[in-house]
Structure 1
Amino acid sequence: MAHEQTIDLERFEMVRGQTFQHHVHDEHQLAWASTGVVMVDIQDRCWVLPPHLALWIPGGVRHATGALRESVLQGVYLDPATCPLVWTRPTVLAVPPLARHLIGYLAGELPAAGRAHAEAVLLDVLRPAEATVFELPLPVDPRARAAAALLLDDPADRRGLGELGRAVGASERTLLRLFLAETGMTFTQWRTHARLQAALAHLAEGRSVGRVAERVGYATPSAFVAAFRRVTGATPAAYFARSRGVEGETS
């Protein structure tokens, strides 16, 4: 019996700032940047994805994808009728080295038996990532969303809620209420997560902790590392070592 192909792949070379505006696929999609860093925006959430992570997007879910750096986006499309994976919500997946090699292998011309085996192994090794920092809830109210957009555009922006409120036409009290009600976080917690999410893109490119801390609004590297550890349970070096299956980094 001929193998019924489960996976199709497309490769997109993207320049910094390039975006695929909101759209929908019938197929499930795995959005993964083999190089660079991409952001995926789905309704009230956004995710920053360095190369060791991908986002599972169920078929029928409206999403937008943009490149934060010059990137190569690999679109891995899976037929819902034949795909054995059953995640029904957007899910961050770890992309270990074996999965990266398999995606590259499947992009080539393969005999049916070899493709069937590679697809089965790829689907078997995909697992949800342990980290929680990559998913950032976004407020829905236009005023709070505008304030969030200012901070996402410039994570080092040090303006407090009062100043941000004047910029977007809302009081400090209103923004406090909206962030808590619509994101489940206090504004301070949300800003911390937004800064750490922005930091991931820089860290994934190998920039120093000191430089990254400054670019995302921390006064000192130690303050940045402490915030990163509070959210992820690890220092930046240990986190990236763990995500890539490397042991023992502690700095």
Structure 2
Amino acid sequence: MTETMEIPRIPRGFLLTTLEHDVSTSTDWHEHSHEADELLWSEGGIVTLEAGGRVWAIPPALGVWIPARTPHRAATVGAAQVRATYLTHDPIASSAMPAIVTGVALSDALRALLLHNHRAQLDSAARLRLQHVILDLLAPAPQTSFGLSMPTSGHLRAIAEAVLTHPADKRTTADWAQLHGMHQRTLARQFEAETGITFTQWRIQARLQLAIRELANGAAVVSISRRLGYRNPSTFIEHFRTLTGQTPTEYVRGDAGSAAA
């Protein structure tokens, strides 16, 4: 299902507003941008985002900061409760956040205050005080590597999309190079130049992106690791911890004291 994203309107004199998008099936929003900064997050289900040349999987414990006027497109994998918080584009009000797309750790306190601001009946002075606290709690996540850089060349993007579609595909760099009539070293150099990491590293991160979605939907670690092409679940867990600083279940739950939350 495809939907049109609503134009955000922040009430005059306030700092932010949140829009709810509850969907019962996989939904896609076409590429668009806003005049306001945006924090995209979820109360349930998995949201995916493509922005700034990267693909992001957003489980409930995390959000993504999208600076004003940044083209982006969002989608859900199945049913989801998508939340988009829009903030005044004020360098002082949002000084903690960079001018690039980045991950945000959605702590219990930040989530609770966002929901309270959205749903509670407050007088103007109390709401403004609350919104200042929300801005104080915004900070980039210590680990932002859950964003996956996509290659820009047509042939490399086709390879990347094939891996995302079939993560257990075991074809090597040499196999893909032969398929596209290239030398293995040429493909490897191009892929690293366009994504910043090797093809092997990219494939591991792509698998973990998909693992995040499966974990949020309640799938077991053993079944996920097999589906992603891992022979041993312990290797999958080791890769996941290296990337995020957490075990798979800690990452999705956002357990207190974990590295990325």
TM-score interval, normalised by the smaller of the two chains:
0.7 to 0.9
Are 2:27 and 2:76, in contact at CA under 8 Å, matched by a contact in 1? yes
Range moving further from structure 2, 203-212 or 216-225: 203-212
Q: Quote the Cα distance in structure 1 between the aligned partners of 2:90 and 2:146.
A: 29
Are 2:49 and 2:55, in contact at CA under 8 Å, matched by a contact in 1? yes
Q: Quote the Cα distance in structure 1 between the aligned partners of 2:155 and 2:53.
A: 14
The 5-angstrom pairing of residues 27-106 of structure 1 reads: 27-81=36-90, 84-86=93-95, 87-106=98-117
Cα deviation 1:177-231 (Å, max 9, x = unaligned): 2211111111101101111121112223332211121122211211111222333
Residue from 8, 13, 18 that aligns with 1:4: 13
Identity rate, percent: 33
**Displaced runs of 4+ in structure 1, greater than 6 A?**
none
Q: Quote the Cα distance in structure 2 between the aligned partners of 1:192 and 1:214.
A: 14
1:230 aligned onto 2:230? no
Cα deviation 1:132-165 (Å, max 9, x = unaligned): 3311111111100111011112222222234434
Residue from 210, 225, 229 that aligns with 1:213: 225
**Structure 2: any 5+ residue segments left out of the alignment?**
1-11
CA apart distance, 1:5:
0.8
After superposition, the Cα gap between the structure-2 partners of 1:167 and 1:114, relative to the gap in structure 1 and judged at 3 Å, is farther
Are 1:93 and 1:127, in contact at CA under 8 Å, matched by a contact in 2? yes
So what's the TM-score if we normalise by structure 1? 0.88
CA apart distance, 1:81:
3.8
Which residue is 1:130 aligned to?
Answer: 142
Are 2:60 and 2:252, in contact at CA under 8 Å, matched by a contact in 1? no
Q: Quote the Cα distance in structure 2 between the aligned partners of 1:62 and 1:214.
A: 35
CA apart distance, 1:33:
1.1
Are 1:133 and 1:196, in contact at CA under 8 Å, matched by a contact in 2? no
Residue from 127, 130, 147 that aligns with 1:115: 127
Give the number of equivalent residue pairs: 245
Q: Which amino acid aligns with 2:220?
A: S
After superposition, the Cα gap between the structure-2 partners of 1:17 and 1:161, relative to the gap in structure 1 and judged at 3 Å, is farther
Are 1:143 and 1:169, in contact at CA under 8 Å, matched by a contact in 2? no
1:202 aligned onto 2:196? no
Q: Quote the Cα distance in structure 1 between the aligned partners of 2:65 and 2:27.
A: 21
Query: RMSD of the TM alignment (CA)?
Result: 2.3
Q: Quote the Cα distance in structure 1 between the aligned partners of 2:135 and 2:238.
A: 36
1:154 aligned onto 2:170? no
Are 1:41 and 1:63, in contact at CA under 8 Å, matched by a contact in 2? yes
